[in-house]
Structure 1
Amino acid sequence: MPKRLWIFCFTFILVLSSFLAGCSNNKAGSQEKTLIYGRGADSKLLDPIQVTDGESLHVTEQIFDTLVRYEPTSTKVEPSLAESWTTSPDGLKWTFKLRQGVKFQDGTPFNADAVVFNFERWMDKNNPYHKGGEFPYFGYMFGGFKGDKGAVIKDVKALDEYTVEFDLNYPQGPFLSNLAMSPFGIASPTAIKKEGPEQFAQKPVGTGPFVFVEWKKNDHITLKKNKDYWRKGYPKLEQVIFRSIPDNTARLTALKSGDIDIMDGLNPNSVGLVKGDSNLQLFNQPGMNVAYLAFNTQKKPFDNPKVRQALNYAVNKEGIIKSFYSGLAEPAVNPIPPFMWGYNGKIKDYEFNLDKAKKLLAEAGYPNGFEVDFYAPTEPRPYLPDGKKVAEYMQADFAKIGVKTKIVTYDWQTYLDRTGKGEHSMALFGWNEDNGDPDNFLYVLLDKDNTRTPDAGNIAFYKSDPLHDLLIKAQRSSDQEERTKLYQQAQEIIKNDAPWVPLVHATVPYAAKKEVTGFIPHPTSTLYLENVDLK
């Protein structure tokens, strides 16, 4: 080989090697550490107050901070944008001392006025920036909006530059835990005023560890490190990319090939494959969730409790767990999981009994059954790895009692929109608990207050005055023993009225490359990525 050609080839190889090394996101010595997070669906919006879906909130949790937050491994509340707080003896006044020296990602100072701006925007439907959505979580968690009979928050005001006071209409037991929920991330007032609420939901600005860069719909969302983040030394990553890969198996293939670094929505029957791969690691999130079949109680035939009870008897939960969860789930008897305080362990489940189901249908006036649409999600959910196949499994048993179902599917965002408006007759759904309090299951998902469309949390549209009275009384108590008794009574009403078939509480598996460090699945499904690193 001529000397000049040899020198050229050698130089080219060196340059190519350097380029490839720089492209790797898993090398400890690389200049830019990028974590690619594989998930099953795209986000809906990126303004946390406007959404309820995990795919949106997992992204906004990186961009925004809340006043208080949960500890990394529990639902115990710790300081965040608020350094400390006090409450009055009657529970009607809460005072928060705010962290100083914090700035939003657009340079706007974080202070008491910014907190007041956000809460006034959320709570007052007449506020000029209360646009772009229905702000569902605010209504769910705080009893409605300003002027509503059950509204918890009366007023929020700045006492000085770094002190905020909340005046409540009623005491609320889970008030502090509610404030830690990611929908209540504090947004830049400057950005909202500049962009408008609708555009802000596409270009979010908070105080969190990562800054929004770009969003290519149904493909990826890119975030970069907030170099001025107030938690010194964090985040450890330079960049995070959320990549949408709808099929669970395809997502695992992408992980094994190195196209992504971490994934949620791992099929339970793929857990063994991950355990057997020395290049991968497995994480399990406790099952603080519920998958359920909701009956639209405002539509025939599900306005009849006997019909709802009949279908409870026609669901083989053990068969579903064996077929679709590989044992990583337990049958759900109540909406809340057995390890949560307030659980009523005395309630007996509807056993799988098709004869009892037929008898109840006959008593309800449907001796030959009926035909009905059956909504099922196509994208994998943490509590429901394959909604369509679960629906098909249930469909076969329903047919045995004369109930002929037509399975209806939509993409996840359309599914949320249609069920939130009450267009379904029955629908598979689920919930990841947000704050460690039974209120977040029972009030959000089953109280009559949360049947407001188009973003109903209670997609059974179940309205029970006795249940409502118990749940509101429990909300307004700070005595956990009293609240436990009230929630146990509430679960008895729910069991008898049967607005749902509670299906399972699922253990949620995640998989990651062995180079990923610092990842801890949170019981509430909150995604903390500021501690994550690549070695």
Structure 2
Amino acid sequence: MNKRVPRLLLSALSTALMAGAGWSAMAATLNISLDADPGKLDPTQSSMLNERIVYQSIFDKLVDLDGEGKIIPMLAERWTVSDDQKTYTLFLRKGVKFQDGTPFDAKAVEFNLLRGQEKNSLRRNELKYISKITVVDEHTIKLELSTPFAPFLSILTDRAGMMSSPAAVKKFGDDYVNNPVGTGPFIYKGRLKGATITLEKNPNYWQAGLPKVDGVVYKIMPDVNVAFNNLRSGQVDITNRFPYKEITNIAAGAKYTVLNKPSLGFRGFYMNTGKPPFDKKEVREAVDILIDRNAIAKVVYNNAVAPGHSAFSKAQFANGPSDVPPKVDVARAKELLKAAGKEGGFSFKLTLPTTADELQAGQMIQGMLRPAGINVTLEKTELATQIENGKTGNFEGLFVGWSGRPDPDQNIYDFVTTNGSLNYSHFGAKEVDDILQKARLEGDQAKRKVFYDQAMALLVKEVPYIYLVHDNVLFGISKAVQGFQYVPDGVIRTATVSK
């Protein structure tokens, strides 16, 4: 039996629904595709870029970056630095709570920084210069460094500065990697390994009016073309990768745009200076001047990279004259090989990642080196194996890039200093070590820039690493997305985004 609902009552019901559930008209979930499944959801255990993308929604940091890569306040409202550059006093935001309801305060900061220094923490090298932590009062903390260390604040804009709930860390122990709790705009709800990570709006977030959506779902899509098709069909709102060939292929009525702006990273390959033939710098220099970076940028990456010749992209203050790629010079390369006793050329193996783009870049390098009699064999290897080979020196050429960090020190120091943790070339030069150490101790940005120019001028002659290109931050973004903010660290921030 049908009962007619009086029109007046229907009207009242719909008004109540629209008013009381105004969110339902606005309710939205932000869907983001990631090209790899994040591992551990604990900043102290993290080594992947995609983990950093997820963390940005769960954890706030002591300080953050703006769209120009400048350091701005976040959980620390302001800070002072002593004249000797060794004491940092942070003044913390009041009234902030972790997502489990416990207070964020100076004791919580102390807990996180000490935890970051522990032996099993991957942040320990970044935080090793903190020699003393003093909780001045509930909202003030003093950090004393053993030596001036210019990149210190920059390090706190990333995983080392992310604040976990001390109560949650104690409660979950080793399983905290599956139960992250921060002060950020979204609360972790769960994951399906290899498929999705689901977050829900933090109703008590300290930034008024944020976040703007009700939830975020990260969808794992290793194939860049699958992610692209999901963006086109509206199943995904933001993709953290975009097919290079599609950048210049966007139809007029497309429902998505491409963000294509400079990042902080670089791509290239190490040469093992500890073994022939790369123990001779003339051989390394010959390889360097045979490579046409502009051709690789155009053919492989559809110009969504900048041809480069240094550790510093244009998004970094240390970018300088060394970043201009050399002109290809086969005759000069042959002279250099002759001087090194390699007049007839030589062969070497270049180990590459398993991606199609890198294989194509490797094939182009193969062709570019052939006119000087250099024969390159390409070998595809998983990233984990490549890094292991880099550490042990079990390679000749090793194609491994770097996603980049906001402070120049983090793009060069560990890569080229003697015994640096990422110095897979096994290169060492006291002059380079000394200059880069001075750059670490110098607080003045203009003076630091001079040191980085000096270091790069030496490295361009020594060539332990072949810098090829600087990646761009390359995201596909649905036109339904509003309020997206580009930051050159290449990490997606979700707090301000609406749909």
Identify the residue that residue 298 of structure 1 maps to in structure 2. 274
Partner residue of 1:261 out of 213, 232, 237: 237
Identify the residue that residue 281 of structure 1 maps to in structure 2. 257
d(CA) in 2 for partners of 1:214, 1:364: 58
d(CA) in 2 for partners of 1:513, 1:82: 33
Identify the residue that residue 149 of structure 2 maps to in structure 1. 172
> Could you tell me which amino acid in structure 2 is paired with residue 487 of structure 1?
Y
d(CA) in 2 for partners of 1:415, 1:33: 41
> Could you tell me which amino acid in structure 1 is paired with residue 468 of structure 2?
L
- Correspondence 1:350 to 2:321: no
Distance 1:379 1:264, change over 3 A: farther
- Correspondence 1:191 to 2:168: yes
The normalised TM-score by structure 1 is: 0.82
Shift of 1:347: 7.2
Shift of 1:64: 1.2
Unaligned segments of structure 2, at least 5 residues: 4-21
Partner residue of 1:44 out of 39, 46, 54: 39
After TM superposition, the structure 1 = structure 2 runs for residues 354-503 of structure 1, keeping only pairs within 5 Å, are: 354-379=330-355, 386-413=357-384, 415-416=386-387, 418-419=389-390, 422-435=393-406, 437-448=407-418, 450-451=420-421, 456=422, 458-503=423-468
Shift of 1:494: 0.8
d(CA) in 1 for partners of 2:77, 2:315: 31
> Could you tell me which amino acid in structure 2 is paired with residue 202 of structure 1?
N
Distance 1:76 1:338, change over 3 A: closer
Identify the residue that residue 68 of structure 1 maps to in structure 2. 63
* Length, aligned pairs only: 481
Distance 1:209 1:379, change over 3 A: farther
Q: More deviation in 364-373 or 177-186?
A: 364-373
Partner residue of 2:137 out of 148, 157, 160: 160
> Could you tell me which amino acid in structure 2 is paired with residue 104 of structure 1?
F
d(CA) in 2 for partners of 1:264, 1:164: 36
Q: Contact 2:117/2:124 (CA < 8 Å) preserved in 1?
A: yes
Q: Contact 1:57/1:183 (CA < 8 Å) preserved in 2?
A: no
> Could you tell me which amino acid in structure 1 is paired with residue 154 of structure 2?
S
Q: Deviations over 1:205-238 (max 9, x none)?
A: 2221122222333322222222222222211122
d(CA) in 2 for partners of 1:298, 1:106: 52
> Could you tell me which amino acid in structure 1 is paired with residue 248 of structure 2?
G
> Could you tell me which amino acid in structure 2 is paired with residue 509 of structure 1?
L
| Paired residue secondary structure (1:532) | coil
Identify the residue that residue 472 of structure 2 maps to in structure 1. 507
Distance 1:76 1:417, change over 3 A: same
Q: More deviation in 111-120 or 41-50?
A: 41-50
Q: Deviations over 1:93-130 (max 9, x none)?
A: 111122222222233322222211221122243xxxxx
Q: Deviations over 1:246-294 (max 9, x none)?
A: 2222221121122211112212321233353331222222243321222
d(CA) in 2 for partners of 1:411, 1:508: 23
Shift of 1:492: 0.8
Distance 1:299 1:122, change over 3 A: farther
Q: More deviation in 515-524 or 304-313?
A: 304-313
Partner residue of 1:118 out of 103, 112, 116: 112
Distance 1:184 1:460, change over 3 A: farther
After TM superposition, the structure 1 = structure 2 runs for residues 329-340 of structure 1, keeping only pairs within 5 Å, are: 329-338=305-314, 340=316
> Could you tell me which amino acid in structure 1 is paired with residue 46 of structure 2?
V
d(CA) in 1 for partners of 2:465, 2:23: 49
Distance 1:306 1:173, change over 3 A: same
Identify the residue that residue 11 of structure 2 maps to in structure 1. none
Distance 1:91 1:234, change over 3 A: same
The normalised TM-score by structure 2 is: 0.88
Q: Contact 1:519/1:529 (CA < 8 Å) preserved in 2?
A: yes
Distance 1:298 1:275, change over 3 A: farther
d(CA) in 1 for partners of 2:275, 2:201: 49
> Could you tell me which amino acid in structure 2 is paired with residue 333 of structure 1?
H
Identify the residue that residue 325 of structure 1 maps to in structure 2. 301
| Paired residue secondary structure (2:247) | helix
Q: Contact 1:266/1:511 (CA < 8 Å) preserved in 2?
A: yes
Shift of 1:74: 2.2
d(CA) in 1 for partners of 2:361, 2:413: 26
Shift of 1:30: 5.0
Root-mean-square deviation (CA), in Å? 2.8
Distance 1:261 1:67, change over 3 A: same
d(CA) in 1 for partners of 2:235, 2:355: 20
Partner residue of 1:246 out of 205, 209, 222: 222
Unaligned segments of structure 1, at least 5 residues: 8-26, 126-130, 146-151, 381-385
d(CA) in 2 for partners of 1:420, 1:47: 25
Identity %: 30
